[in-house]
Chains A and B, each alone.
Chain A
Amino acid sequence: SQQGEEDPQALSIQEGENATMNCSYKTSINNLQWYRQNSGRGLVHLILIRSNEREKHSGRLRVTLDTSKKSSSLLITASRAADTASYFCATDGPGNYQLIWGAGTKLIIKP
């Protein structure tokens, strides 16, 4: 069962523009994480935001969390070709040993 659902499923923007993708989830959480997956590779952790945090920054990444709406957004500013990848959100699942994953947003940065 999938907890997180990313929106949009695919996003294509020009290099230099900002990219925003969203994640919605169904049950209460302790943490929400964002990961990146380059084509054919394993996933790489980007950022973790805890349920008592509303916003977090890491370099060109900005993540917000709205627990009342059960949603999160990932903003990538000044996009680069190297940002082309799929982006997944994951929330902690039952028993605190599992992450529940969304289906991902495929981001394409056009030069």
Chain B
Amino acid sequence: NAGVTQTPKFQVLKTGQSMTLQCAQDMNHNSMYWYRQDPGMGLRLIYYSASEGTTDKGEVPNGYNVSRLNKREFSLRLESAAPSQTSVYFCASSDPGWETQYFGPGTRLLVL
């Protein structure tokens, strides 16, 4: 089992460019999450999907959109990247939502 996988691992964007971060899990979890982590800080929830077909905003959703493509996949899209979105992005999954979360290795994003 691969657990939670994320692509890409690294990305450099120019301000205004768009991109999609991909996440997939093979643990048959219902809930999936996107977080960002800035230096010296904990995780902040961007969006989550409690189950297939549903998505909800977290603490910092502005500038992002998500798609729960199916039970396995949850993507995060930056429509018009800004330097403030420079961060490390983590995807996680769990079942049920308040129990142990399993994390992917992260995507390091630099917006110039």
Q: List the interface of chain A (C-beta within 8 A of B).
A: 1-2, 4, 30-31, 33, 40-45, 48, 88, 90, 92, 95-99, 101-104
B64 on interface, CB distance cutoff 8 Å: no
What is B's interface to A at a CB cutoff of 8 Å?
4, 31, 33, 40-45, 48, 50, 56, 58-59, 90, 92, 96-106
Q: Which of B50, B56, B98, B103 contacts A42 (CB 8 A)?
A: B103
> In the complex, how many angstroms separate the beta carbon of B79 from the nearest chain A beta carbon?
24
- Contact across chains for B42 and A97 when beta carbons are under 8 A apart: no
Decide if B97 touches A96 in the complex (CB within 8 Å).
yes
Which B residues are CB-close (under 8 A) to A92? 98
**Known contacts A42-B103, A43-B103, A97-B31; is-contact A103 B50 (Cβ 8 Å):** no
A48 to B42, CA, bound (A): 18
Give Cα distance in the complex from A102 to B45, angstroms. Answer: 12
* Given A30-B98, A95-B56, A99-B101, 11 more pairs with CB closer than 8 A: A2-B42, A4-B42, A31-B98, A33-B100, A43-B101, A92-B98, A96-B97, A97-B97, A98-B45, A101-B43, A103-B40
What would 12 A/B residue contacts be, using CB atoms closer than 8 Å? A1-B59, A2-B42, A30-B98, A42-B106, A45-B101, A48-B100, A92-B98, A95-B50, A98-B48, A98-B97, A98-B98, A102-B42
**B102 contacts A45, C-beta separation under 8 Å:** yes
